[in-house]
Structure 1
């Protein structure tokens, strides 16, 4: 197994240490250093480092070719140094999302939540079991044992902004500890005590304090702004003071910005939303139920649900019941049912193992964060199916005039709060629809499942690779880049494009959709991994003249459009468009069959990736 830490340490020492690095990014196959003094780099030592393929010096960059494992080596360099972190002059990592706004949002949320999902799932499951124990009288809620267990199960989601501050800081390359200081202020006990208070001001500026407990969007937005502020301040402040003055300024500006701007805006939007839904419930209950049942989880994602809480309390104070809460049960159970469908249908082992506790915590305790952020929203379809089921179920429940007699967290175990209040037949039908519809849609219609990373097929088969481009096939040796030309990065051919479109060369999973659009990595079901690298050094264009059409994890069919590019503009910018099309896992596919030559159209046979007799576990 590759020792990425050893490779990282050898490379870092070979380039002259962290102090000799001005910036560091990585692309599909190589670490791209900009060194302060290239004469201090020991190229022979870098080349001799285990895991390094070769070294190329071009375009002002010191390029260390690693191959498929470059993200892992890059990550280890980040652990051992300050390279790529806040305060360093490195450019943003190239694995940030690109595409339409919705896909970018989902990719961002997924990336930020991934590190915390297991803790969310585990504590949510604990809370579900604790709620069940209290419901069935197995534990008394007035005991210190219950208090301790409740704190264990509720603390993580209560202080979720602090966890997200760390993951968002890593995603946006901001200082983690400054982000944690900002999040700590949002959930500081004295601050949370101001929620609902009147007459609040900050240096004479009036503001409304809303609850940031368990919130998601505010901390992500402010950490994104923090990352930009830090880059500006590190560039402008003198070196002697920037390390401690920067976090002071950032915290001093960011936290009041949340209180004075984000809070009032969310409160205003939430108030409009709450008033509108209240009006709809009064005049057309079925429509109000559909909105609450279908969109409640969307409101939660953006923190807008807080605008509805005052309506809940006001309704309860004036009537002793909460009609708006009934359809929310449908919304919660619908998302739990959708993730249950993922649990049943998924073949990906890691996806199934996360879906299991997410299903239980969603149904029992109403803790849907692991389901939504870890599974349903990234997979898109299950989240949409949950919205459909919740909307229909919520409408039926509202038509039945069902209401709650207490303010509870909607969940399976909290259903007794609805019993005997309104038409119980309609409640039963509504809940059944809310559960069955998304479950069946998820299991029957399905979803695009991410590839299993741990292993490849036990038997590897030869794979036919079709041409992804219209152009002219040339030997790989004619590629004007030594690392590609000598086959160090993999076997294959190169194509000189005559049009600006790249198509899938076989049915595959997209394993690397680089946001710069200059390269894309694909994995065939039989394990063959293929890299299409548009031009040489085109990563420097930073996405200009490229338009990526797919995202990482997406399944594509042979002939499906992957990306487009403006070849004329790229060549005018001084870049060679020769495009290597190579197999990058030689342990399974050590050679390619006789390739095509000369003019070729996309979809024509290009070559066969020849497999070894039996596959071995993937790295």
Structure 2
């Protein structure tokens, strides 16, 4: 696929979803940007689907999901620059109002997605790590009594073993509780002496009987505990005076929550979770055909709408309760069948653009288990390949469930490289036959009946050719432009290194190299000549693309998006041509400071393709019109 300019795409996407005022929360998962919109009707879905780089749009789980593909972190980084107050996973920073109420299913899916999506890749990586280690031990390629095995086992198992600590952090972000207090509660659940109490003996706390259970690798107890913690903290904040609040609130929260969790929340939620896991196991043991058809046939439908997140805690709890998950058994066939259908399209079609998309998308499905690009970009628009993939998944999944297909490591993304995770399957050969049958059905039917080149165009394609401006002409214009050698200060003030800017997105350099300026006046000007490609309606951020393609972001203040334009008077709009020194915005600095916001203005180069170096000049004072960043080509 052609390279997508995410720096240019982000402001266009933000405009089409209704602007920053319409965004309540922002996050991403493996392939999708996930927005919580205050009013989804304001989003121009048809126009968004037409954008280069967008595979499709899905509205589910209370979220407006823009499917991008494997490069979604690149777009997320650019969106963070435009909406820095909303840049945390699954959180709106506690500001900016709330979206419309969700129904219970949407609320549950949104909750699970927010808590699990930040950790899913590490969970998948360590799960696959443990699967390969188990395979090496099974074939006696490594001695389980060796120190080497002990080290590798710790590396692969620790994340899952201490999962309550991990989920304590993400749950605290979602429920807006203190993350470190949540870790203290989660740590108590897996504390060695507490774990050792799970010996079948009688234990008590202040004379109250303790029902000790194993909380290592558990999911539900810590999530519920952190939710209760958030309410305890708010009560403590009201109760304690300001002079004592900072240490008394965490102290009281830990004092209340650890015994409360061990006495009530933990046993109750563990019993419920174990019951759900046992019910799933009963279904797959006694009616495996039904379980295999439902999961194998509908797994990709669940993925399309984000509903698979609802099964993640159940699958994890299966492993905690039973030592393995049977839901995983049919999923391998479901994933590989869709990838096989996409591969058949690639081999059968005469459309070069479809082949260009289908090749890497099907490879992503086979090797990484990420199927959204092949579903949305290839199979679903043509309908029959998607249906044949479902059929292959249902048949292969049914055979896999009858074979007792299972995985003992949580977070595994079913794929070719994840096959070692299935080695504990009782009838492994039958399970493998099921996967092969599912792949064969999807591939053969698609190859023979599912490819009609005139049925549907891939994303960004039209009968007259590629969407958007002529790429050749644009490239020629960039090549002929005079190189940008320097950026000038947009305002008088005090220059500070980027790492000292009090915003982790900018200070980390994730968005590019640059400089911060504490402004001495309220008129901020363009640091270089070019075209305005971003002009936030709140007036707090602007993007300029120079004629030679250098992308520049000027962000006025920290978290000033929350002022919703108060104190800002923009002087330019998207599409305007500017030269260095032209006014961009007038800012009432006193009003911004009075509202409690840092006025530090950040200037960064966000696109470094073709640049040898971006060198900030930070020597104390900055004068408008003088060089603050040197650029080497």
Query: TM-score normalised by the shorter chain: which range applies?
Result: 0.3 to 0.5
TM-score (norm 1): 0.44
TM-score (norm 2): 0.44
